[in-house]
């Protein structure tokens, strides 16, 4: 993002180098060995543990925590990776507070769950630091599979297929692999270039070739892939961003939150990123929270996150909402944008007050304005350019079973596929399960 004469309030370098470093430090510093042992000792090692049921990848959580407690963190990591090859990233970004930790018996009994996410990070970091891949490939099958999209679903699918002995080619439109792990997650959740390091570690399995700068609808066609490969997996993600449908949203200073986050994630120097004094973020999900918090961390003086429904309806977890509030973000609910007021560049955003009724969301007739020299749209993403030959459901690719699409030989998973939550861990599970189904199909 470059500063424009039309947006004088949007400038870089609002903070000192020390402030940038402090603001974008690791959100949850890793546990040391003693802290991990103490945390592991709190686990009851439940039979039929509810935390396992709550995990989309069904990691045997009591087992890996017991392995940590008995001094075998590398074995614990192998237990995690058997189910979730991106367990290192998921340990950092999963909303554990609404998944495994919410289901923890300690949470129900004491209001303080076992630190499952941090223990998972402790174990996976230990094994990955050895730079030894824990898996080997099966004998070559002679089968070739194309994976379109190098995000969590595509990477999980590719790794499992390679492990089974298939040759895999992964295509991705962007220069780097990782998808949202690389481009779409708040920097303070995954510091030190971890996303790229995790991809490099995963690729050590062998049998996977990555081709960047190539996309479906660009130089690739689904028909061409079907003719060239024995199977195709689509992990396209959601590249489109929904419009505000508010007057004036094309004004200078109004942009998509996902682009802002991606630019921040790829920045070599945070002090060169322009940020406004008065920032408005529109939306109620994780992308909205990540954009709002990082705007504050970059030096914005006033950041408001505005959501059209009540706080309980926000997709961002209560933990994430509280994190935003603790960083000075104002959360305004029951308000939707109706007009961006600009003189070339955005100056204010006008909102209408809303209320939930049995008939749906209703405009109360009351309006208010927020000062803004920068506006980020985070109101949901959509699938762009789905191949016409594929059936869709709810704007996404329709799938049955383990990701089977309406076309024989084509599977899909992750955010582009109908069903499921738009979470990294869910995408990993879908990619893994599709790979198993592809393998079973190819091998008869």
* CATH number of the domain to which 91 belongs: 1.10.1060.10
Residue 305 has pLDDT above 50, yes or no: yes
Question: Where residue 131 falls among pLDDT bands split at 50, 70, 90?
Answer: confident
Lowest mean pLDDT among 52-61, 80-89, 185-194, 236-245: 236-245
State pLDDT tens for residues 251-283. Answer: 999 999 999 999 999 999 999 999 999 999 999
251 and 376 both lie in a single domain: yes
Mean pLDDT in residue range 230-242: 94
- In this structure, is the dihedral angle defined by the CA atoms of residues 189, 64, 440 and 144, taken in order, positive or negative? positive
Mean pLDDT in residue range 224-239: 96
In a domain, 16, yes or no: no
In a domain, 204, yes or no: yes
Q: Which domain holds residue 68?
A: 33-129
Q: What's the rounded Cα separation, in Å, for the pair 89 and 195?
A: 7
Residue 75 has pLDDT above 60, yes or no: yes
> Where is the domain boundary, 357, 380, 403?
380
Token pair of 113, please? Answer: 């769950």
State pLDDT tens for residues 374-399. Answer: 999 999 999 987 788 999 999 999 99
262 and 356 both lie in a single domain: yes
In a domain, 217, yes or no: yes
252 and 123 both lie in a single domain: no
Secondary structure (DSSP) of 248-267: TTTSBTEEEHHHHHHHHHH-
Closest CA to 74 of 159, 156, 134: 134
Q: What's the rounded Cα separation, in Å, for the pair 429 and 84?
A: 7
41 and 121 both lie in a single domain: yes
Mean pLDDT in residue range 329-348: 96
262 and 369 both lie in a single domain: yes
pTM here is 0.95
Residue 5 has pLDDT above 70, yes or no: no
Token pair of 17, please? Answer: 């180098």
Q: What's the rounded Cα separation, in Å, for the pair 230 and 73?
A: 38
Question: Where residue 330 falls among pLDDT bands split at 50, 70, 90?
Answer: very high
- DSSP structure class, residue 247: B
Structural domains counted in the chain = 3
Average pLDDT, the chain: 95
> Where is the domain boundary, 356, 380, 404?
380
356 and 252 both lie in a single domain: yes
Secondary structure (DSSP) of 189-222: GS-TTHHHHHHHHHHTTSSEEEEES--BTTTB-H
User: How confident is the model at residue 97, as a pLDDT?
Assistant: 94
289 and 371 both lie in a single domain: yes
Q: What is the share, in percent, of the chain residues with pLDDT greater than 90?
A: 91
Residue 4 has pLDDT above 70, yes or no: no
In a domain, 207, yes or no: yes
Identify whether the C-beta of residue 346 lies closer than 8 Å to the C-beta of residue 372: yes
Identify whether the C-beta of residue 295 lies closer than 8 Å to the C-beta of residue 279: yes
Question: Where residue 227 falls among pLDDT bands split at 50, 70, 90?
Answer: very high
In a domain, 6, yes or no: no
In a domain, 135, yes or no: no
Q: What's the rounded Cα separation, in Å, for the pair 212 and 152?
A: 15
User: How confident is the model at residue 26, as a pLDDT?
Assistant: 96
Mean pLDDT in residue range 22-32: 96
Between the alpha carbon of residue 397 and those of residues 129, 237, 412, the distances in Å are: 38, 11, 7
Q: What's the rounded Cα separation, in Å, for the pair 236 and 215?
A: 9
User: How confident is the model at residue 372, as a pLDDT?
Assistant: 97
Strand ranges (E), 284-334: 302-306, 329-332
Mean pLDDT in residue range 387-412: 95
Distance of CA 210 to the CA centre of its chain: 21
381 contact partners, CB below 8 Å, separation of at least 6: 238, 239, 240, 241, 242, 258, 287, 415
In a domain, 27, yes or no: no
Token pair of 25, please? Answer: 């430090």
326 and 251 both lie in a single domain: yes
């Amino acid at each position: 993002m470059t500063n424009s004469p039309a947006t004088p309030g949007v400038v870089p370098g609002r903070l000192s180098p020390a402030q940038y470093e402090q603001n974008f430090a690791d959100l949850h510093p890793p546990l040391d060995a003693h802290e991990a042992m103490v945390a592991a000792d709190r686990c009851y090692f439940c039979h039929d543990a509810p935390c396992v049921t709550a995990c989309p990848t069904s990691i045997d959580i009591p087992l890996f925590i017991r392995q940590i407690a008995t001094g075998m963190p590398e074995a614990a990591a192998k237990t995690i990776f058997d189910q979730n090859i991106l367990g290192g990233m998921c340990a950092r970004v999963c909303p554990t507070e609404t998944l495994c930790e919410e289901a923890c018996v300690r949470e129900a009994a004491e209001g303080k769950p076992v630190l499952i996410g941090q223990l998972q990070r402790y174990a996976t970091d230990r094994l990955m630091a050895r730079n030894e891949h824990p898996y080997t490939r099966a004998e070559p099958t002679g089968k070739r599979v194309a994976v379109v999209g190098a995000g969590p679903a595509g990477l999980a699918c590719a790794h499992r297929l390679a492990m089974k002995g298939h040759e895999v080619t992964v295509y991705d439109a962007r220069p780097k692999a990782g998808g949202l792990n690389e481009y779409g997650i708040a920097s303070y959740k995954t510091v030190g270039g971890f996303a790229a390091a995790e991809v490099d570690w995963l690729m050590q399995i062998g049998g996977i070739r990555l081709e960047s700068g190539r996309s479906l609808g660009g130089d690739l066609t689904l028909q061409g892939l079907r003719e060239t490969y024995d199977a195709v997996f689509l992990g396209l993600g959601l590249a489109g961003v929904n419009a505000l449908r508010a007057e004036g949203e094309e004004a200078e200073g109004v942009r998509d939150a996902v682009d802002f986050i991606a630019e921040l994630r790829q920045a070599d120097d945070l002090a060169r990123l322009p940020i406004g004094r008065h920032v408005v973020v529109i939306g109620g999900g994780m992308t909205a929270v990540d954009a709002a918090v990082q705007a504050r961390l970059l030096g914005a003086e006033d950041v408001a996150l505005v959501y059209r429904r009540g706080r309980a309806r926000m997709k961002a977890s209560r933990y994430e909402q509280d994190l935003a509030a603790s960083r000075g973000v104002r959360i305004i609910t029951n308000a939707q944008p109706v007009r961006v007021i600009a003189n070339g560049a955005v100056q204010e955003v006008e909102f209408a007050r809303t209320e939930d009724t049995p008939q749906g969301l209703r405009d109360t007739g009351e309006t208010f304005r927020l000062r803004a020299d920068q506006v980020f749209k985070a109101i949901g993403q959509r699938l762009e350019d789905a191949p016409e030959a594929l059936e869709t459901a709810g704007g996404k690719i329709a799938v049955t079973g383990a990701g089977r699409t309406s076309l024989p030989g084509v599977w899909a998973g992750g955010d582009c596929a109908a069903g499921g939550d738009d979470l990294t861990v869910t995408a990993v599970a879908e990619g893994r399960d599709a790979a198993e189904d592809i393998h079973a199909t190819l091998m008869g």
